[in-house]
Amino acid sequence: MSVEKTTGAGGFIEALKETYEDGIKDQLNRDVVLYDALQTGTKKVKLEGKKLVFSTKLGRAYGAHAIAENGTLPAAGTATRARGEVEPKDVWGRAQLTKRLMAVSKTDRGAFADALADKMDDLQEDLKYEVARALVGNKVSTSTETGILGLIDQDQSGTQITLKENSGNVQLRPGMPLVIGDNAQLGGGTPENTVTIKSIDTTTKITVDGGSIDVDNGDFVARGTSGTVNAYKEEFTGIAHIVDDVGALYTIDPSTSPQWAAYVDDNSNVARPWSHDLMNKAFRSIKTQSGKRPDYVTGHDAQVDEIANTLVSDVRYEPCKFKGGYERSFLTWNNGERDIPIVPDDMFEPGKLVFLSMDCLAMCETVPMGFDETDSLLQRISDSVSYEIVYGTIGNMVCYQRNAHGVLEDLQFDETNFAFAS
């Protein structure tokens, strides 16, 4: 949609900036804990052409060891490093205003802000959801691309569709538009189907609006409204891609660089109870392989509840602050050095618990979260007397040391504590 520069809208722009410029980002920091906890990555990351470039650590230097009295000093070691590369991704939302709304509110900036409240609240909610979901991400076994919410489970026809490798449907919402197709179809702008979710039925089934559709086994499911407007390959590199021991990440492959692999403890798809031993083993294993002690543990709300219910009398909650300055109380666990938070996050797949070393992760925003003011904050829509506001960011998550993170998989949880979005 082309736009032309807005004129005579200074008062409205000032009202928007006063009310929402910092408010939306504050909401993100307050409500999306992972976004709040991530450090900014601009100091260690460079923008070269279209790519974010940074140094990753694969191995230790081994430049120190015992020597004989008056012996020769050890040779200076050099840690094994590799160049990581990833493209920044765009996440934007927009709200539209009619000329009539602006005319009614022209003499009263407060009235304008009130009239705009619903539209901006909707924009805030959409951005919070998209950022929260994309930071966690969903990884499937048949692709390393981002933006895939799940796979079609066998050839099907109908309005109820069965999915697999879909994070238990926790990242899907009724009313969400989706595109369905294979790599060539989605990448080429010709999805096999474009649908809207009517309901989330189970952890593997959704019902779509409209008539019966035909889908093929293994097809990708992604956010989007058309072949050219969709999120396939275009989302942040989320935690699901980073905390894994297989698949290339930032052009570095653990099959040729074995230390570029996170710690993964699974049980061959057989659910098992969470335990102190599993938890402590994860901390010890990550510390041994990376030299780092994870300082942020997270998982789906139902999984964190499982831990709290198991601990019973030993449950400890402590206040915690991240960069946004909001104080929250979280269940805590001692990582062998200090108490750290166990953060509930309903975008994670139930049955998993993720261990992160936050100094090895960063959110690098080449365009900081905020209003797009390329032409004007308030932009005229061509062939219309309406205006629009665009808010978002360009950036990506980067990881400097993959083996400093880990995941426990195949954990039992109480499904009565599990709720689908409605």
Residue-wise pLDDT tens digits, 198-232: 999 999 999 999 999 999 999 999 999 998 899 99
Distance, CA of 331 to CA of 340 (rounded, Å): 8
pLDDT of residue 123: 92
State the average pLDDT over residues 52-77: 87
Q: Pairing state of beta strands 3-5 and 378-381?
A: antiparallel
Q: Read off the pLDDT of residues 4-14 as tens digits, 9 standing for 90 and up.
A: 333 345 667 77
If pLDDT is split at 50, 70 and 90, which confidence band does 105 have?
low
Residue pair 75/112 in contact (Cβ under 8 Å)? The answer is no
Q: Which of 103-107, 224-228, 288-292 has the highest mean pLDDT?
A: 288-292
Q: What is the structure's pLDDT at 109? A: 59
As beta bridge partners, residue 97 has: 387
pLDDT the model gives residue 5:
39
Highest averaged pLDDT of the listed ranges 24-28, 91-95, 259-263: 259-263
Of 13-17, 69-73, 339-343, least confident by mean pLDDT is 13-17
**Amino acid 2: pLDDT:** 36
Close Cβ partners of 91 (under 8 Å, ≥ 6 residues apart): 127, 130, 131, 134, 235, 236, 392, 393, 394
Residue 200 DSSP SS3: strand
Q: Which two tokens stand for residue 221?
A: 């499911």
Half-sphere exposure for 244 (CA within 13 Å, toward CB): 21
Going from the C-alpha of 265 to that of each of 210, 243, 283, the distances in angstroms are 42, 11, 11
- H or E element: which one contains 163? strand 160-164
d(CA 105, CA 110): 8
- pLDDT tens digits for range 293-326: 999 999 999 999 999 988 877 778 889 989 888 8
pLDDT at 77: 75
- Res 381 pLDDT > 50: yes
Would you state the structure tokens that stand for residue 336, as one six-digit string? 């062998």
In the block, residue with structure tokens 């909001």: 326
- The alpha carbons of the chain give a radius of gyration, in whole angstroms, of 24
